[in-house]
Amino acid sequence: MTTEKILKKAVSEHNLTFDEVVVLLKSEDDALFKAADKVREKFKGQEVHLRGLIEFTNICKSSCKYCGLRSENKKIERYRLKSDEIIALANHGAQMGYKTIVLQGGEDVFYKADLICEIIIGIKKNDLALTLSLGERSYEDYKLFREAGADRYLIRIETTDKALYSELHPNMSFENRLRCLKDLKSLGYETGSGCLVGLPNQTVEMLAKDILFFKENNFDMIGIGPFIPHPNTPLKDYTPWTDNFKMSLKVMAITRLLLPDINIPATTAMETLNPNGRIIALQSGANVVMPNITSTEYRPKYEIYPNKICLNDTSDKCRECITKKIESIGRTVSKGYGFRK
């Protein structure tokens, strides 16, 4: 089938075969981005949802080979915010108009379930939705967080290729990652996943399987990010695909075609590779942006990859800047919570 026919099918049926997804990933036709933009407009409208991101700890017990927060990296200064500092940041976020706060961190065992619950309860005193992104936890922990008031949870599968997954994640298991996603769904969270694009030994075929995995599991949110090598990791010398920004954009756009009503962020990693990356993503299927509301003091220390954007900006500046950009393309900032349905 030609690209044109595949796109026509995707726009009307929101279903594609593995071979068809591969054709789209290999095609250089920008019609893919236009089609994803149309589907986004039809199912999600012109509103962009902003989620205020708090990076509350960069301490991590894991050793993901691509990530600057990995425990073996001794070259970063570690930090861990106290519960009242986290709640104060969330309160400020609510005052700025955020309707969702995202709490993200390394896999820091200091934050036991009862402490996280205390933070959840504090944040939820505001009128907002709360998303957690704390990595792998037990079913019991996820249940306690949900009961304390957490609404959503993000945990990327990173790659669905089992061999690549085990190569990149020492002492972790693909099965446990799947277990987390299954538990979260069964507990009634809006569940988000996603993948990295441009990893060593990753192929276009693997990315096609990632996309079909998102579709099969009908996730509520999908975040796609280009892999950006970090100098203090084992992958420091690896060079991803020449146009990894474009490849990430393709994966994101096809995800929009197959899951027309989900929430898809224009990711910060995309903006790191392209100065207009988030706006291009918003015009290629995305409908969410996650501005950072962490204090300027801590931002440079949450270095999952190098050259992260807005390191010296205040959270007020970030909100103002992204709002202007969103309005410049004829879209509006939503005043709602932005649940999937």
Kindly state the number of chain residues that form the binding site for ligand SAH, as judged by CB under 6 A.
18
Q: How far apart are CA 336 and CA 341, in angstroms?
A: 12
Q: Per rule CB under 6 A, is residue 169 in the interface with ligand SAH?
A: no
**Within positions 29 to 58, which residues make up the interface with ligand SAH, using CB under 6 A?**
none
Asked whether position 193 contacts ligand SAH by CB under 6 A, the answer is no
158 Rama class: left (phi>0) / alpha (psi -120 to 50) / beta: left
Q: How far is the CB of 127 from ligand SAH (least distance, A)?
A: 26
Residue 47: beta bridge partners? 332
Rule CB under 6 A: say whether 172 interacts with ligand SAH. no
Nearer to ligand SAH, 16 or 168 (CB): 168
d(CA 192, CA 220): 6
Number of Cβ within a 10 Å radius of residue 214: 25
Residues in 82-101 at the binding interface with ligand SAH, rule: CB under 6 A: none
CA distance 56 to 132: 11
Please give the backbone phi and psi of residue 332, each rounded to the nearest 5 degrees, phi first: -125, 155
Out of 16, 48, 67, 129, the residue judged to bind ligand SAH by CB under 6 A? 67
Q: Which CB sits closer to ligand SAH, 108 or 205?
A: 108
Element housing 286 (H / E):
none
- Between residue 113 and residue 142, which ones bind ligand SAH under the rule CB under 6 A? 133, 135
Task: Return the half-sphere exposure (C-beta side, CA atoms, 13 A cut-off) of residue 123.
Answer: 32
Q: Does 331 bind ligand SAH (CB under 6 A)?
A: no
- Does the protein bind ligand SAH through residue 81 (CB under 6 A)? no
Binding residue (CB under 6 A) for ligand SAH from 98, 142, 174, 305: 305
Q: N- to C-terminal Cα distance for the chain?
A: 33
Q: Is 240 in the site for ligand SAH (CB under 6 A)?
A: no
Identify which range of 80-88, 200-208, 225-233, 281-289 contacts ligand SAH by CB under 6 A: 225-233
Of 14-22, 74-82, 155-163, 280-288: span binding ligand SAH (CB under 6 A): 155-163
Buried b or exposed e, range 236-256, using 16+ CB within 10 angstroms: eeeebeeebbbbbbbbbbbbb
Q: How far is the CB of 42 from ligand SAH (least distance, A)?
A: 29
204-217 vs 244-258: helix crossing angle, rounded to 10: 30
Applying CB under 6 A, the residues found at the interface with ligand SAH are: 66-67, 104, 106-107, 133, 135, 155-156, 158, 196, 225, 227-228, 230, 269, 304-305
